[in-house]
């Protein structure tokens, strides 16, 4: 039987189940088998891997994962697709589909209950554009026992996540992702590889989860508060951005913060490395968390 990720098979499945694409859920189905095989290969999925997939659609990527993985757990928010997946995944006994919004799932508990302790857990998914960032931040901040996250997303968002300081794409999202992972854009995917075609090209981003965060800080929540504040108005200096958010601090206290962190208050957030944000967060800590 032809792979699901072909124009003819996708059309046939959709016609058989009287399906239409749901724009509100960002549904664009991939119709290039080679790209899917490449994703699975780059993700390092093998018989010792339990794969978690988010938004399987009609099962194009799920099918390729099932051929390699020990087991695939796929979470699908669209109830119309549950019967479709039961049909398309019927040849694979190692696929479990759950009708659930991934943002409402306690993944830590799910993994503890379903994944054998001797298996590696990897997230592999073609993420809907409209909810890419919330899903990734949930995966990164939930202290999950996962090894890597290999996901397709809007090319522009992938570029931002992998961006370096002093570039226009570098921002709070870049720092959040790099704090928890090493990030690498492993390939780009033109919009012509989808049905229907989206308005933008996609990219596949691989995030390898760090055993420990990239920097050690006194207060992680404060660290990210500082990051968010520093990019609140990109064209403003660190001092002006921090003064706006930490309004209880006096001018003299802000002077002490920048002196203790050894960071020039006239710099902008986009010029700071993750280490420098850690210095700034630890320096401000005594003043805002006392």
For residues 99 and 82, give the distance between their C-alpha atoms in angstroms, rounded to a whole number.
Answer: 7
Cα 85–Cα 89–Cα 94 angle in degrees, nearest 5: 125
User: Element (H or E) spanning 113, and its range?
Assistant: helix 107-114
β-sheet bridge partners, residue 153? 203
In order of 18, 28, 55, 100, the CA distances from 80 in angstroms are: 10, 15, 12, 12
CA quadruple 57, 61, 64, 65: dihedral positive or negative?
Answer: negative
For residues 60 and 36, give the distance between their C-alpha atoms in angstroms, rounded to a whole number.
Answer: 8
The response to whether 101 counts as a known ligand-binding position is yes
Please give the pLDDT value at position 22.
66
The response to whether 28 counts as a known ligand-binding position is yes
Residue 220: CB partners within 8 Å, gap ≥ 6? 213
For residues 271 and 259, give the distance between their C-alpha atoms in angstroms, rounded to a whole number.
Answer: 17
Q: Is 213 exposed, middle or buried (0-12, 13-18, 19+ CB in 10 A)?
A: middle
The response to whether 44 counts as a known ligand-binding position is no
The response to whether 282 counts as a known ligand-binding position is no
Residue 133: CB partners within 8 Å, gap ≥ 6? 157, 173
The response to whether 37 counts as a known ligand-binding position is no
CA R_g for the chain: 22
Q: What is the pLDDT along the chain (290 residues), one digit of tens a residue?
A: 789 999 999 999 999 999 876 665 556 889 999 999 999 999 999 999 999 999 999 999 999 999 999 999 999 999 999 999 999 999 999 999 999 999 999 999 999 999 999 999 999 999 888 889 999 999 999 999 999 999 999 999 999 999 999 999 999 999 999 999 999 999 999 999 998 888 889 999 999 999 999 999 999 999 999 999 999 898 899 999 999 999 999 999 999 999 999 999 999 999 999 999 999 999 999 998 65
Question: Which sequence spans correspond to the domains of the chain?
Answer: 7-209, 220-288
Architecture of the domain delimited by 7-209: 3-Layer(aba) Sandwich (3.40)
| pTM score of the predicted model | 0.90
The response to whether 55 counts as a known ligand-binding position is yes
List phi, psi (to 5°) of 211. Answer: -70, -30
If DSSP states are collapsed to H, E and C, what string results for 148-203? EEEEEEEHHHHHHHCCCCCCCCCCHHHHHHHHHEEEEEEEEECHHHEECCCCCCEE
What is the side-by-side order of every strand in the sheet holding 148-154? Answer: 95-99, 71-76, 49-54, 120-126, 148-154, 202-209, 181-189
Task: Please tell me the CATH superfamily of domain 220-288, with its number.
Answer: rRNA adenine dimethylase, C-terminal domain (1.10.8.100)
Please give the pLDDT value at position 129.
80
């Amino acid at each position: 039987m032809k792979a699901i990720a072909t124009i003819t098979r996708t059309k046939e499945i959709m016609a058989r189940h009287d399906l239409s694409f749901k724009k509100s859920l960002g549904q664009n189905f991939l119709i290039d088998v080679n790209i899917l095989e490449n994703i699975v290969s780059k993700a390092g999925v093998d018989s010792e891997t339990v794969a978690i997939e988010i938004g399987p659609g009609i099962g194009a990527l799920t099918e390729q994962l099932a051929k390699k993985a020990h087991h695939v757990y796929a979470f699908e928010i669209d109830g119309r697709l549950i019967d479709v997946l039961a049909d398309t995944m019927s040849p694979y006994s190692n696929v479990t589909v759950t009708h659930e919004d991934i943002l409402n799932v306690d993944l830590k508990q799910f993994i503890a209950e379903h994944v054998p302790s001797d298996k590696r857990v990897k997230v592999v998914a073609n993420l809907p554009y409209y909810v890419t960032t919330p899903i990734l931040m949930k995966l990164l901040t939930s202290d999950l026992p996962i090894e890597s996250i290999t996901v397709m997303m809007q090319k522009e968002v992938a570029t931002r996540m992998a961006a370096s300081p002093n570039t226009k794409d570098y921002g709070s999202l870049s720092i959040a992702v790099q704090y928890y992972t090493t990030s690498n854009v492993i390939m780009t995917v033109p919009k012509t590889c989808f049905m229907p075609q989206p308005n933008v090209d996609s990219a596949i981003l691989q995030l390898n989860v760090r055993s420990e965060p990239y920097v050690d800080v006194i207060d992680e929540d404060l660290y990210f508060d500082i990051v968010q504040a520093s990019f609140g108005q990109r064209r403003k200096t660190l001092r002006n951005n921090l003064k706006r958010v930490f309004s209880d601090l006096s001018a003299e206290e802000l002077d002490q913060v920048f002196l203790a962190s050894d960071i020039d208050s006239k710099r902008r957030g986009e010029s700071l490395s993750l280490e420098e944000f850690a210095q700034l967060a630890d320096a401000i800590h005594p003043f805002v968390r006392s």
